Amino acid sequence: MTKAVRVGNRIIGGGFPPVIQSMTTTKTEDVEATVRQILELEGLGCEIIRVTANTEEAARAIGEIKAQIHIPIVADIHFNSKMALLALEAGADKIRINPGNMPLEELDQILTLAKKKDAAIRIGINSGSLEKEFLDKYGISVQAMLESMRKYVAYFESKGFEKIVLSAKASDVALNVAINEELGKLFSYPLHLGVTEAGIYETAIIKSAIGIGSLLLKGYGDTIRVSITGDPKQEIPVAKEILKVLGLRTGVNVISCPTCGRCEMNLASLATRVSEAVKDMDTDLTIAIMGCAVNGPGEARAADIGIAGGRGSALLFKKGEIVEKVGEEDLFIRLMEEIKGANDA
């Protein structure tokens, strides 16, 4: 188990379930637009938000933003220690520094102020901005990222600063997984997972499911960010789904068959409607929506609630037993009655 690190009103690590993060796309100094976007993300289930602190005005705006939101705020201060100090003064719950562009000698003042403000620091290594010393020696590799992390963690510890979260992100999924496994083995600090520059929606969700999901499956990862080009609101449902299918979040798991020539009903439409209707429920339920008698009864019996389709109707199962035969036109309503009943129970 990793150490527990408190970030604002959240705990990262310490055996707590992974926390979902996102990052705003607004100009941080535009407080109104930034708060609006954060509140939308909160509503979807974002639990920690990162903003860019790329100008003095942006760093200073963090205080005003923080007063209007309900989740911890993290400042990405890039290569500028002055922004780190301003963001901490403004009340950032965590800042992210990148060893590739924040020399050790600039850290002392930041560590002192972060300690005073009880803020956490993420040491975030990125394959696209590796420390020159290690990039020259090893190229873009696990070794380069690991050596850089060792150096920075040792420095933080030598200064008595242990409110640390680690991350090493690569756009290459295999490298991303390999480096984070090493970090997970080597350090007891919480790990933030994400595949950097993961691309547009379809590509990003696949890269993230593999790159984040495979690490979570092995027990690594205390916070995650699914990075998708475009509106950050896209990121949260994907992050929630990754956690849900891995059993790290409660929620309704909908199993549905792909359908084939044996299917004699509009199963795709039913599965889509049910999936949409249950996506925000946080009850642990498995629903099976199956097209015929081949695998249908087996899956439907094994689920909490399920159907096995026939011609224009389906058998409805509940806790392994057949409850009734339902006409295709009534299936959605009957399934939802049973799901809501189980959800309210």
Query: In the complex, which residues of this chain contact ligand SF4 (CB under 6 A)?
Result: 257-260, 262-263, 290-292, 294-296
Q: Measured from the CB atom, is 242 or 300 closer to ligand SF4?
A: 300
DSSP string, 244-260: HHTTSS--EEEEE----
CB of 262 vs ligand SF4, minimal distance in Å: 4
Query: Would strands 252-256 and 285-290 be described as parallel, antiparallel, or unpaired?
Result: parallel
Distance between CA atoms of residues 238 and 225, nearest Å: 10
As given in the structure block, the two tokens for residue 139 are 């190229």
Q: Provide the CA 259 distance to its chain's centre, in angstroms.
A: 31
At residue 154, φ and ψ (nearest 5 deg) are -60, -40
Tell the residue number behind the tokens 């083995």, with chain if given: 185
Q: Measured from the CB atom, is 287 or 292 closer to ligand SF4?
A: 292
Q: Measured from the CB atom, is 144 or 300 closer to ligand SF4?
A: 300
Q: Measured from the CB atom, is 92 or 290 closer to ligand SF4?
A: 290
Task: Please name every residue paired with 324 in a beta bridge, in sequence order, or none if there are none.
Answer: 316
Q: Measured from the CB atom, is 17 or 312 closer to ligand SF4?
A: 312
CB of 337 vs ligand SF4, minimal distance in Å: 23
CB of 274 vs ligand SF4, minimal distance in Å: 15
Q: Using CB atoms, what's the residue nearest to ligand SF4?
A: 291
H/E run at residue 57: helix 56-66
Q: Measured from the CB atom, is 36 or 301 closer to ligand SF4?
A: 301
As given in the structure block, the two tokens for residue 298 are 């087996």
CB of 331 vs ligand SF4, minimal distance in Å: 15
CB of 205 vs ligand SF4, minimal distance in Å: 23
Q: Measured from the CB atom, is 213 or 309 closer to ligand SF4?
A: 309
Neighbours of 64 (CB within 10 A): 15
CB of 294 vs ligand SF4, minimal distance in Å: 4
Q: Measured from the CB atom, is 72 or 291 closer to ligand SF4?
A: 291
DSSP 128: G
Cβ contacts of 299-303, under 8 Å, gap ≥ 24: 299/255, 299/257, 303/255
Q: Half-sphere exposure of residue 272, counting CA atoms within 13 Å on the CB side?
A: 5
At residue 24, φ and ψ (nearest 5 deg) are -70, 160
CB of 308 vs ligand SF4, minimal distance in Å: 8
CB of 265 vs ligand SF4, minimal distance in Å: 9
Query: Would strands 164-169 and 192-193 be described as parallel, antiparallel, or unpaired?
Result: unpaired
3-state secondary structure of 93: coil
